[in-house]
A and B are shown apart, each in its own frame.
Chain A
Amino acid sequence: MCAEVEETLKRIQTHKGVIGTIVVNAEGIPIRTTLDNSTTVQYAGLLHQLTMKARSTVRDIDPQNDLTFLRIRSKKHEIMVAPDKEYMLIVIQNPSE
């Protein structure tokens, strides 16, 4: 089953424009990554905080609501975060490619 995960991550990585893929656990510790160490650590930490903030924002507005997907579009990249209770999947893509 673990090989399936690796294979799927590799497939995502080879998708058009994808720069990196990171899997993070609930505490913000990266579990799997395709980027180098320092970048991973930076992305994981910052995005973890941002996701927590986004989730708390959504829940403050309506306590029965919850965050399902987060997409940050910047001039150079698009960062997509699929959060969950326990883990988080982060994909960084360059959409203009």
Chain B
Amino acid sequence: MRVCVQILRQFCFNSATKRIVEIPDLQWEKSQLNRNVACRFFFIWFPDLTELKLPVSDPNPSLCVCVLLTLQWDTDPSVLQLQSDSELGRKMQRLGATKITQVDFLPREVVLYCKETQTPITGTEEEDDEEIIDLEPALESDQQEEVDNKETREGYPGRELTEEEKQQILKSEEFLSFFDCSIRVMERALAEQSDIFFDYSGRDLEDKDGELQGGSSLSLSRLFYDEHWSKHRVITCLDWSPQYPELLVASYNNNEDAPHEPDGVALVWNMKFKKNTPEYVFHCQSPVVAVGFARFHPNLVVGGTYSGQIVLWDNRSHRRTPVQRTPLSAAAHTHPVYCVNVVGTQNANNLITVSTDGRMCSWTQPISTPWDFMELVYNKSKPVAVTGMAFPTGDVNNYVVGSEEGTVYTASRHGSKAGICEMFEGHQGPVTGLSCHNAVGPVDFSHLFVTSSFDWTVKLWSTKHNKPLYSFEDNADYIYDVMWSPVHPALFAAVDGMGRLDLWNLNSDTEVPTASVTVEGASALNRVRWASGGKEVAVGDSEGRLWIYDAGELAVPHSEDWARFARTLMEIKANRGDAEEEGLVELTP
């Protein structure tokens, strides 16, 4: 260690005068200072210091030197550093990322109890009881109540919610959305009544009804009816969901007994679970006469109304009213829209709607104004009052329409012959239902279609002939709807005003239906729709009830059914040719 010494003041002891005298400017000679300078008060060791010399002028050797020095310990730089590190300063830290640990804190378990949670129902019961009791027991009961209250107060201390707070909560948005979701789940759970503890050993097996019967007849599978929304309303249209085969939508007319309820209602029902309430409830201001699932938009339901408005409901929003509506303008429809259809492919699809004034509009999303519309007129003179429209399988351009006069027309959307092409006469009353053959198989029957009408008949047509191929006349009332089976080539269903659902299998018999069933209550059946699998058929009646029938074995096609149907058709044509004198007019497709 090196020591720097800076001499501040110098003193010396003059032994003659016995005094300490300050020496102003002493010149020290290096050689004179001893290495060890012993001082009275402190001992300084100067290992490296060169000698200091005392002035020679003073002869007295007993000189005591008092020196005031400052000492500067000039320590090794490295040593200094160390010291400063530990004692003095903070050096610059380098920053780096630390590992993140996530900690989940559970909510504090607060046990709270509420004192008064009586709903009005149970509250009134208590009041009644109190009135009956005499005075004396009344006093006792009062005392008991006090005791009870005390007990509850002691046992369950907690914050109460006032009635206003509860009402507030019940009206809040988040509560409503929670309630909407959880009530749906809860209803499904409540309805599933499977007894997992059933013991087969100790008792007789009860015969299971309904599910396994099927067989070769029509059996009732489900009935969908809602007290609030279906009562006194006629089912005007049905559609099965292309995406979820268990969902179907039914549209309802207005309820004359309840003028304050919305006029148009559409309910989405679920076949998969046993609960008997609709999955979704939609309504709008005008009676809904046509409804369908938008084929390439799985969350949307399209409705055509009596006022000519097209409405769109979305099941993603919690609203029951339409999310989109067309304006009531002359550019759109001003007459009831009985047909709504989504045609096209995933990438290029249009919503086609036709109203009873003969106007056909094409819409794209979002529906505000139609991008294309056409007036369906026959022979450029009279507009066709369209009651039904159907597209043959795979065709997006040509379609068939039925009218109120009883005539059926084919038409095209685009091309040189856009508009009405041919006329098919045969029915003597308005055409109520129209269905193009859509079972796909080895033989192509897509030129066939069936129509039903108020004239008590169902007629089979081919687009190649302008007279019906065959007329089915087994009914004794207006026939309201008809539909080909989507899987069986020779099977179609028809419903009439007496509550009868008929299944005609043309391969077995063309004179009488193969299976027939009348619904309970014999109310007029307005609509019939096969499920996409072809196993179930849904019928809607005029009382707002939706019946689902299981067609069982009847609806299952066999591979030879196509060939047999081709032969049946030939027979029909041959019989026809014999029966009528005038020849069939062959139409160019």
Query: Chain A: residues with CB nearer than 8 A to chain B?
Result: 1-2, 5, 7-8, 11-12, 15-16, 18, 23, 25-38, 40-41, 44-45, 48-49, 52, 56, 59, 63, 69, 71, 80, 82, 84, 86-87, 89, 91, 93, 95-96
In the complex the two chains form, is B179's CB within 8 Å of A63's CB? no
Task: Across the interface, name the chain B residue whose C-beta is closest to A8.
Answer: B183
Q: Is B169 an interface residue (CB 8 A)?
A: yes
Within 8 A of A (CB), among B85-134: 102, 104, 106-107, 109-119, 121-122
Q: A86 contacts which of B115, B117, B166, B175 (Cβ < 8 Å)?
A: B175
CB distance from A90 to the nearest CB of B (A): 9
Q: A36 contacts which of B109, B122, B167 (Cβ < 8 Å)?
A: B122
Q: Is B176 an interface residue (CB 8 A)?
A: yes
Contact residues in A for B122 (Cβ distance below 8 Å): 34-36
CB distance from B198 to the nearest CB of A (A): 11
Q: Is B178 an interface residue (CB 8 A)?
A: yes
A71 to B107: give the CA distance in the assembly, Å: 22
Count chain A CB atoms within 10 A of each CB in B102, B114, B190 and give the residue with the most: B114
Task: Across the interface, name the chain A residue whose C-beta is closest to B194.
Answer: A95
Q: Is B144 an interface residue (CB 8 A)?
A: no
Contact residues in B for A35 (Cβ distance below 8 Å): 122
In the complex the two chains form, is A28's CB within 8 Å of B110's CB? yes
Q: 26 pairs across A/B with beta carbons < 8 Å? A: A1-B176, A7-B228, A8-B179, A11-B277, A12-B186, A15-B190, A16-B193, A25-B161, A28-B110, A28-B112, A28-B113, A29-B159, A31-B169, A37-B116, A37-B118, A41-B152, A45-B112, A45-B113, A45-B156, A52-B109, A80-B190, A84-B178, A86-B174, A86-B175, A86-B178, A89-B183
Q: B190 contacts which of A12, A33, A56 (Cβ < 8 Å)?
A: A12
Report if A31-B104 is in contact (Cβ < 8 Å); known contacts: A12-B186, A36-B118, A86-B174: no
In the complex the two chains form, is B112's CB within 8 Å of A29's CB? yes
Task: Across the interface, name the chain A residue whose C-beta is closest to B160.
Answer: A29
In the complex the two chains form, is A41's CB within 8 Å of B195's CB? no
Contact residues in A for B34 (Cβ distance below 8 Å): none
A55 to B335: give the CA distance in the assembly, Å: 56
Contact residues in B for A48 (Cβ distance below 8 Å): 111
A51 to B291: give the CA distance in the assembly, Å: 43
Count chain A CB atoms within 10 A of each CB in B113, B121, B152 and give the residue with the most: B113
Contact residues in A for B156 (Cβ distance below 8 Å): 41, 45
In the complex the two chains form, is A91's CB within 8 Å of B186's CB? yes
In the complex the two chains form, is B121's CB within 8 Å of A34's CB? yes
In the complex the two chains form, is B190's CB within 8 Å of A49's CB? no
Task: Across the interface, name the chain A residue whose C-beta is closest to B158.
Answer: A29
Contact residues in A for B102 (Cβ distance below 8 Å): 63
Q: Is B182 an interface residue (CB 8 A)?
A: yes
Q: A18 contacts which of B152, B159, B183, B190 (Cβ < 8 Å)?
A: B190
Report if A49-B186 is in contact (Cβ < 8 Å); known contacts: A31-B166, A32-B170, A33-B119: no
Q: Is B212 an interface residue (CB 8 A)?
A: no
Q: A96 contacts which of B152, B160, B195 (Cβ < 8 Å)?
A: B195
Contact residues in B for A49 (Cβ distance below 8 Å): 109, 111
CB distance from B283 to the nearest CB of A (A): 13
In the complex the two chains form, is A30's CB within 8 Å of B118's CB? no
In the complex the two chains form, is A31's CB within 8 Å of B170's CB? yes
In the complex the two chains form, is B113's CB within 8 Å of A41's CB? yes
A69 to B190: give the CA distance in the assembly, Å: 13
A52 to B111: give the CA distance in the assembly, Å: 11
Contact residues in A for B187 (Cβ distance below 8 Å): 12, 15
Task: Across the interface, name the chain B residue whose C-beta is closest to A3.
Answer: B170
In the complex the two chains form, is A5's CB within 8 Å of B170's CB? yes
